[in-house]
Structure 1
Amino acid sequence: MKNEPVYRIQSVDHALHLATVLAQEGPLRLSEAAERLGVARSTAHRLLAMLVYRDFAEQDEDRRYVAGPVLRAAQAPEPQADLRRVALPRLRALTERLDETSNLVVVVGDRARFVASVECDRVLRVGEREGRVLPAHLASGARAVLATLAEAEIRALYDTPDSPVADVDRLLRELRRIRRQRFALNDQQTEAGVSAIGAAVPGDVRAGVSVALPTARYRRDRLPEWAAEVTATAERIGADLAGR
């Protein structure tokens, strides 16, 4: 688990956020960058200009910003812009119904990447997770995605000398249960005081939806309601993607 630095430098955080978006989602226009960060266009322009100067970004012929040589050398881009665009309206609706923070995660290998978050308006709430990377076998939305994979693939991922999973057979049993009930629960496994319920998006995308809330508000008697809402949202996103 990674904790946010006590003295976070906002400009650095914004620049790294933009670099992550370019690496994971592909081209980005200036107006889109400003909207993603919630800053003025002039601020976004200065951040992107610095990324270009340091070769983390460059502009294409349409004046869109794309991953630069540094990012391309580190990892090939994994465009997720369409998935995020389709999912965001569904996440906003989920947050409005449950009044808790909702997330979209994509599973890449044994990692869960948060590609979209919609915060609720409560004073005590789980903050947005966009750009964060967590272990897939712990994050609720990613656990639900792992439950859709063949057991041989799970063993190939986790039955290794340096595996973060001590007992792969136990993980497989947990994934079978998640597959039967169609949702996964993360009860403070990635962050103390935070609980989350996740479900896999149907189709050929390895993506999941989750709703995260302070553990102080978690109630077991409401779990079926939350699970039904998250599962329905994941299914709607899958249907929207199939319709495109």
Structure 2
Amino acid sequence: MQNSPASQPSRKPDPTRKPAQKRPTYSIEAVDNALQLLQLLRDGGALRLKDAAAELGVAPSTAHRLLAMLVYRGFAVQDENRRYVPGPAMGVGPAGLSWTRQLRDLAQPHMELLSSRLDETVNLMVRVGTKVRFLATVEGSNVLRIGDRQGTVMRADKTSGGKAMLAELEPGMIEQLFRGHNAEIGGDTIQASDYPAFLRELDSIRGNGFAANFEGTEEGVSALGMALHNRHGQVVGALSVATPATRFRKVFDAGLVATLRATCRQLEVDIAANPAEGA
């Protein structure tokens, strides 16, 4: 039984606790609004213009000007749905959003089963701008295996799952992500000489339904990835199977593509049956 407030013992002051922060008397409204937008992007991961205006209590035109400046400085970027998401200057969005937690929970049993079938490491990832964040990993039991990547951030155009997700974007968005101003700020620009080959690779991925990474992110590591979709056909993440490069051909020839595709389809059934924001 809990004590009532009147009967609770008195507490000694905690010297480590700081007083509540007060709003500065010299605050600049535009700066404060921009900082609030940064917090919203950090904590929410995605923000629409009308929601930004409502949160700040300003006109949509004012919110648009603030967001445009964040985009210019690399703190935000617009995705294919015209939402603003954290840009390269902020790193990537949080993995703790409610729908990503749900996605991780839904994916876990499928990942465990897939890993046990292949005895290889399976990863779940989501894309934010030009980066992917690994949400979960299930390691294989081989002595020589790929380790846990949960929480790791990598370039989307280098990972198998990232390329599988990028392949489903419109060409204009690909160009904005990797040839635009934000890519230059974040160091993610694909050079003009390499860009046509990258587009051809994405075309091939669309045709095959999967993407491969042959030591593109780490020496000695190869992987195969496929995108995950919600009930509306929108990409919400990707699964990848990572192996030591020396073992990849053996695993591939043993039916890796069919096995991973079956797992993705089964997981997509669960995603469709448990709709949530973003999934």
* TM-score when normalising by structure 1: 0.67
C-alpha displacement of 1:165: 1.3
Look up the SS of the partner of 2:255 in the other structure.
helix
Structure 2 counterpart of 1:229: 259
Q: Deviations over 1:147-187 (max 9, x none)?
A: 11111111111122514312322211110100100010000
Look up the SS of the partner of 1:199 in the other structure.
strand
Alignment of 1:168 onto 2:135: no
Structure 2 counterpart of 1:47: none
Distance in 2 between residues matched to 1:234 and 1:182, nearest whole Å: 11
Structure 1 counterpart of 2:244: 214
Alignment of 1:178 onto 2:205: yes
Q: Pairwise mapping of residues 190-205 of structure 1 onto structure 2 (< 5 A)?
A: 190-203=217-230, 204-205=234-235
Structure 2 counterpart of 1:90: 110
* Distance change in 2, residues 1:212/1:77 (3 Å): same
Among 171, 182, 192, which residue is 1:151 paired with? 171
* Distance change in 2, residues 1:220/1:96 (3 Å): closer
* TM-score when normalising by structure 2: 0.59
- Counterpart residue type for residue 43 of structure 2: A
Look up the SS of the partner of 2:133 in the other structure.
strand
2:179–2:189 CA contact under 8 A, matched in 1:
no
Q: Deviations over 1:39-76 (max 9, x none)?
A: xxxxxxxxxxxxx979xxxxxxxxxxxxxx9x947812
Distance in 1 between residues matched to 2:111 and 2:252, nearest whole Å: 19
Look up the SS of the partner of 1:218 in the other structure.
helix
Q: Deviations over 1:131-159 (max 9, x none)?
A: 00000001101110111111111111112
2:161–2:238 CA contact under 8 A, matched in 1:
yes
Distance in 1 between residues matched to 2:265 and 2:238, nearest whole Å: 10
1:155–1:168 CA contact under 8 A, matched in 2:
no
Q: Pairwise mapping of residues 1-244 of structure 1 onto structure 2 (< 5 A)?
A: 72=39, 75-78=42-45, 79=97, 80-160=100-180, 162=184, 163-166=188-191, 167-203=194-230, 204-219=234-249, 222-223=252-253, 225-244=255-274
- Counterpart residue type for residue 75 of structure 1: R
* Distance change in 2, residues 1:150/1:220 (3 Å): farther
Distance in 1 between residues matched to 2:149 and 2:223, nearest whole Å: 12
* Distance change in 2, residues 1:96/1:169 (3 Å): same
Distance in 2 between residues matched to 1:129 and 1:190, nearest whole Å: 12
- Larger Rg computed on CA atoms: 2
Look up the SS of the partner of 1:201 in the other structure.
strand
Distance in 1 between residues matched to 2:251 and 2:131, nearest whole Å: 30
1:112–1:136 CA contact under 8 A, matched in 2:
yes
Distance in 2 between residues matched to 1:53 and 1:97, nearest whole Å: 51
1:103–1:116 CA contact under 8 A, matched in 2:
yes
Query: Alignment length, in residue pairs?
Result: 178
Look up the SS of the partner of 2:142 in the other structure.
coil
* Distance change in 2, residues 1:53/1:172 (3 Å): farther
Distance in 2 between residues matched to 1:168 and 1:104, nearest whole Å: 27
- Counterpart residue type for residue 151 of structure 1: P
